[in-house]
Amino acid sequence: MKADSATDWLARIRALPLREPVRIMNVCGGHERSITMAGLRGALPEPIELIPGPGCPVCICPEEDIFEAIQLALNEDIILVAYGDMLRVPVNVPRCDARSLEEARARGADVRPVASPMQAAAIARANRDRPVVFFAAGFETTTAPTAALLVEGAPDNLFVLLSGRRTWPAVAMLLESDAPGFDALVAPGHVSTIMGAEEWEFVVTRHRIPAAVAGFTPQSLLAGLYSTLRQLIEGRRFLDNCYPEVVRPGGNRTAQAHLQQTMDVTDATWRGVGTIPDSGFAINRAYRPHDARERFPAYGDDARKRAGEMPPGCDCAGVVLGRIYPNECRLYGVACHPRHPIGPCMVSDEGACRIWWSGGLREPAVKPGPPATAY
């Protein structure tokens, strides 16, 4: 049987009797990229507002973790490896200091980009005489392969500086706030592949918000949007798996077992947001010999561990919480653009500001000046 096309789903959505404005949040940076690149916002009926949410692991990586990685790279005789996007993320330090891993590399630190934990392990095996620190920032999808590497046996000289985060507690935090800011949720496909769609049941059962897990094609996203809209119109609430070809009931049990074996769940800081209960991973006792925080001196600066730490004027906090659109930041396209990023949302391929800019949405929505919001 022929699968329904994006055009079919769009026609169905346009035929829905939508009278009131509807705000639908997508959690995942990959979803935001597909929505923007496919021009879905412009194609959907006016009452539908699509809101990018907290789904960029680089954007929410706490400043103190990036600072720690920079200091390790500068002060220890190590090779520091990190996912490519992390290299350009700026921290707030005096201009005379290294503001990013890229700047640390320019000052002589051995900083290398990697695309996977396997690549980090390969670098460690090729450099047995030197410690290799893998700065592993990411959500469940990228933390699970790090856990697998630990279970399967990482080289003795590989140490993980973990900044792993769980996505559902951030959405729970938004839903439990005074103003969640959305009426329906498109839940992330990749995370659900690992953890199971069931993790998002609470959105429906506890908060009575329609939810659908979607993949990354316009068809899958439109199917997810259609499902949530119909639920709203018909007064029904359920979690719809619109990505069943990849998201299986219960998720990937092996990946979950790896996470359970190697990690503890902890409260964790999200940059610009603050501490979210149970939203972080930490390497557990059994795998301590591979924990960079056990092996090296602490370079974390306590004064740095405060919520809302974004570069001056940057409204990334508002963007990741879905409070403003990227072009409502007063620096968007004026002082901040991909060649001169001020905040993490303009650095990462999964950051909403970067995605909007790449999608050709380059007009600021507000006049240049100080940030409009306070969080």
Which residues contact ligand SF4 (rule: CB under 6 A)?
A: 314-316, 319, 326, 329, 331-332, 336, 342-343, 345-346, 353
3-class secondary-structure state, position 190 = helix
Q: How far is the CB of 301 from ligand SF4 (least distance, A)?
A: 22
Q: Which residue is nearest to ligand SF4 (CB)?
A: 343
CB of 312 to ligand SF4, least distance (A): 9
Closest CA to 81 of 141, 144, 146, 30: 146
Starting at the earlier edge strand, list the strands of the sheet with 79-83.
110-114, 79-83, 132-138, 158-165, 274-283, 263-270
Radius of gyration of the chain (CA): 21
The SS3 of residue 106 is helix
Longest dimension (CA), the chain: 67
Nearest distance, CB of residue 373 and ligand SF4, angstroms: 10
Q: Least distance to ligand SF4 from the beta carbon of 52, Å?
A: 11
Nearest distance from C-beta of residue 338 to ligand SF4, angstroms: 10
Q: How far is the CB of 366 from ligand SF4 (least distance, A)?
A: 11
Nearer to ligand SF4, 83 or 356 (CB): 356
Cα distance between the two ends of the chain = 50
Nearer to ligand SF4, 41 or 207 (CB): 41
**What is the C-alpha to C-alpha distance for residues 178 and 162, in angstroms, rounded to an integer?**
31
User: Nearer Cβ to ligand SF4, position 72 or 316?
Assistant: 316
**CB closer to ligand SF4, 222 vs 324:** 324
Q: Which is nearer to ligand SF4, 201 or 328 (CB)?
A: 328
Residue (35 or 336) nearer to ligand SF4, CB: 336
* Dist. CA 64–CA 71, nearest whole Å: 10
Q: How far is the CB of 56 from ligand SF4 (least distance, A)?
A: 10
For ligand SF4, the closer of residues 123 and 342 by Cβ is 342
Cβ atoms 200, 211 nearer than 8 A: yes
Here the contacts of 245-250 (C-beta below 8 Å, separation 24 or greater) are: 245/215, 246/189, 246/193, 246/215, 247/189, 247/192, 247/193, 247/196, 247/197, 247/213, 248/193, 248/196, 249/196, 249/197, 249/198, 250/196, 250/198
How long is the chain?
375
How is residue 343 written in tokens? 């905040």
